[in-house]
Amino acid sequence: MSDSAFNIIGPVMIGPSSSHTAGAVRLGLIARSLVEGEPALAKIGLHGSFAATGDGHGTKLALVSGLLGLAPDDDRLAQSHALAQSRQLDFTFETIDLGEDYHPNGVSIEIHSRDGEKHLMLGASIGGGAVKITTIDRFETHILGDSPTFILWHQDRIGYLAAVTAVLAKAEANIARIITSRHTRGQQALTTIELDSYPDLAPVTLNLNAIAQTQRVRLTNIA
């Protein structure tokens, strides 16, 4: 079995631990992408190792850095809490228990926009700076954050996914993974679409928003 130099050495980053710092920044970046514009409030729950050793490894600084839109190698990471105050981003931390089967580097982030939009994300830093998002707004999903990913909140209707894939096909965007989650047939659903090609994403976003059943479209592109 072979491995890449990136996986052995780890990502370019600030901080002592790829899991607790680089991965934590990426978790914050994905949470930030769920709302439009600058976030105003973040309620952050730390699970397992994140809660136990997060202070020493800079996890709290890193999560806030991501929420501010900073990259893992941004040397302002150590000042992220002060920077958040200057940008009027309020944040709180608490210890939570996501269950013994959840990854020890787990986090929940409830993020609020300035105009009242609110979302809840659960995810984990799984090693080497890589992350996995498991839940958005109580819908199960699977986002790795290593490729452009569309997140669509929409009504569960016949033909919706066909309309979405037609938009992506027209843009010559190749789908790596598509997941739809719902609680009740015919009601609200969440679809996530990871891409492994890089078209012009701005018109794609507009065209996805134009589908009648679409309620909201967000794009996370932190790779």
Q: Which tens digits make up the pLDDT trace of 47-96?
A: 999 999 878 889 999 999 999 999 988 999 999 999 999 999 999 999 99
> In angstroms, how far is the first alpha carbon of the chain from the final one?
25
What pLDDT was estimated at residue 13? Answer: 43
Q: Which of 149, 124, 148 is nearest to 135 (CA)?
A: 124
Span(s) in the chain for CATH 3.30.1330.90: 5-137
CATH 3.30.70.260 fits 149-220, yes or no: yes
Q: How many CB atoms lie within 10 A of CB 174?
A: 12
Span(s) in the chain for CATH 3.30.70.260: 149-220
Answer yes or no: are the C-beta atoms of 67 and 107 closer than 8 Å: no
CA–CA dist 130, 146 (Å, integer): 8
Answer yes or no: are the C-beta atoms of 189 and 154 closer than 8 Å: yes
Q: In a structure prediction context, what are the per-residue pLDDT tens digits for the chain, which is 223 residues long?
A: 444 433 433 444 444 455 568 999 999 999 999 999 999 999 999 999 999 987 888 999 999 999 999 998 899 999 999 999 999 999 999 999 999 999 999 999 999 999 999 999 999 999 888 999 999 999 999 999 889 999 999 999 999 999 999 999 999 999 999 999 999 998 999 999 999 977 888 999 999 999 999 999 999 987 5
CATH superfamily assigned to domain 5-137: D-3-phosphoglycerate dehydrogenase; domain 3 (3.30.1330.90)
What pLDDT was estimated at residue 35? Answer: 97
What pLDDT was estimated at residue 18? Answer: 55
Which residues on adjacent β-strands are paired with residue 129? none
CA–CA dist 214, 152 (Å, integer): 7
What pLDDT was estimated at residue 1? Answer: 42
Answer yes or no: are the C-beta atoms of 38 and 97 closer than 8 Å: no
What pLDDT was estimated at residue 183? Answer: 93
CA–CA dist 186, 54 (Å, integer): 41
Q: Which amino acid is at 74?
A: D
Q: Which of 22, 70, 76, 29 is nearest to 221 (CA)?
A: 29
CA–CA dist 133, 106 (Å, integer): 10
In this structure, is the dihedral angle defined by the CA atoms of residues 183, 40, 142 and 170, taken in order, positive or negative?
positive
